[in-house]
A and B are shown apart, each in its own frame.
Chain A
């Protein structure tokens, strides 16, 4: 096994804070033998890993390896898809959130999500953030909560004079930051991001990456991205998934390697990881 390789991606160490040593990391999610199955076809098989608190964890891999399916297991969004089942467990603060006795709505209040395409409500900018708060019973200091969320999402300065304007009048990047503000306003523990910047231009992308960096001391971020450079820029830990093939052409996604981002991109242990980050495939 080579000790160091020439990755196609330069791991930016200057911008990032160094990760605390392993012993001091607190696991917030413990995934054990997770299989995700759509109508009998396995999409993701046998994933076991820990996700650590107050870090940014990236999930990378080629298209079709089940990254989105995997991340949606964490907030039970796959429940919406008819024919979906999963086996295995995800322990969150000691409880298995995949269990049948779990209320998915409560799970989603703790574990928020930002989607690939910005999907603000067809309401005003202010109401986009405030409505969720009102419905979830966080009505006190509403205006302050809204301002705080928008500030943390790096959007406040741009919209503070037009809070009543329709959210749909914002640009794509602004809408996505609004969605982030909406998600963090309800004070989740974890924010899941499913390719949040894939529909955005580089400047908007950079704003969102900076956001994650600034906020990770208060939230835990898990981000799915097909962009290796983004993972290298933003993530502390990186999980690499790839597609495995079985007999009769069945394919599923599997976790190949999961480690500190630097290690994944400079000295990966698995050949498949090495092939992917050096651009030899995927």
Chain B
């Protein structure tokens, strides 16, 4: 073995804080990326508002409660009210249908299903989330819509026709009802998977305690699981609502369009998101495009509100249950 020069370790310099080029570079580059991601959110808000500016100055704030959409040059008047109504109608009904289904599925997968069934069924439900909205819309146009129109809508109308919701079915295929069913399918996976995780996160001791006192499975669920997961379920529902509000493609394919406010689910209608998708390509003027931006502003406000509210709830629940966000071990 050759004799190796032993460097005198003490003679290595270590004074003078050398700012390492590598450390600074990595931090700067990575930090820029993080800043860019944050700025992007602000940029989105700014750009969408900016695009809406001509319409805002033309229509003012009355846009929000006006029922109109006339792009004819020289007589333009636009309003969001009918679309707001459509969005509210479709999303709330979809949530109302999806919530119990999602709770049922979440309970099934966390408490009731036999062990071997849980993983495959969970995978199946999550796969439903993976189906692209345009494919669901396609199916909605050619399979679901006609089926609902032929069988379900007349049946419901004949039985419950006294309620304005279940008025005479429209002559053409598309309807708000089809859109509601489609939206229900689309938000079901997200609400159920969040709920499932919540139910799985309920501490064993709490559940076993209830069972040890002699309660039935269902009583335990009602008395322990639901209260514990209450906050998280609220967040899940809000996220589902946000998803439904923002869905454009599948809805526009099945809802038919129209600028009016009525309660008949079996007739056509329109939502904020679907109006934007539908009118964009045929937009007659810059002003109409700007009006679509205006619709997008309203949509953005809603979804930001929904998202931030859900985040806030999650944060509060996490604090109560002692979990924190991110960071390394």
Q: How far is the CA of A102 from the CA of B13 in the complex (A)?
A: 10
Asked whether B1 is an interface residue with its Cβ less than 8 Å from the other chain, the reply is yes
A62-121: which residues lie under 8 A (CB-CB) from chain B? 93, 95, 97, 99-103, 105-107, 109-110
B15 touching A187, Cβ below 8 Å: no
Show the binding face of A for B, using Cβ within 8 Å.
93, 95, 97, 99-103, 105-107, 109-110, 141, 144-145, 147-148, 187-189
Asked whether B21 is an interface residue with its Cβ less than 8 Å from the other chain, the reply is no
A110 touching B10, Cβ below 8 Å: yes
A103 touching B14, Cβ below 8 Å: yes
B1-42: which residues lie under 8 A (CB-CB) from chain A? 1-2, 4, 6-7, 9-10, 12-18, 20
B14 touching A144, Cβ below 8 Å: no
Return the contact of B16 from the options A103, A148, A189 (Cβ within 8 A).
A103
A188 touching B9, Cβ below 8 Å: yes
Q: How far is the CA of A101 from the CA of B14 in the complex (A)?
A: 9
Q: Contacts A141-B4, A148-B4 given: A102-B10 contact, CB under 8 Å?
A: no
Beyond known contacts A109-B9, A145-B4: 16 more, CB 8 A cutoff: A101-B15, A101-B16, A102-B14, A103-B15, A106-B14, A107-B14, A109-B12, A109-B14, A110-B12, A144-B2, A144-B4, A148-B1, A148-B4, A187-B6, A188-B9, A189-B10
Show the binding face of B for A, using Cβ within 8 Å.
1-2, 4, 6-7, 9-10, 12-18, 20
Output the nearest chain B residue to A105 by Cβ-Cβ distance: B20
Q: Contacts A141-B4, A144-B2, A144-B4 given: A187-B9 contact, CB under 8 Å?
A: yes
B1 touching A187, Cβ below 8 Å: no
| A147 cross-chain contacts in B, Cβ below 8 A | 1
| A187 cross-chain contacts in B, Cβ below 8 A | 6-7, 9
A101 touching B17, Cβ below 8 Å: yes
Min CB distance B227 to A, Å, is 35
| A188 cross-chain contacts in B, Cβ below 8 A | 9
Return the contact of B2 from the options A95, A100, A141 (Cβ within 8 A).
A141
Q: How far is the CA of A148 from the CA of B2 in the complex (A)?
A: 11
Min CB distance A247 to B, Å, is 30
| A100 cross-chain contacts in B, Cβ below 8 A | 17
Counting chain B CB atoms within 10 Å of each CB, which of A97, A100, A110 scores highest?
A110
Q: Contacts A141-B4, A144-B1, A148-B4 given: A110-B9 contact, CB under 8 Å?
A: yes
| A107 cross-chain contacts in B, Cβ below 8 A | 14
Q: How far is the CA of A110 from the CA of B2 in the complex (A)?
A: 23
Min CB distance A215 to B, Å, is 13
Min CB distance B119 to A, Å, is 30
Min CB distance A51 to B, Å, is 14
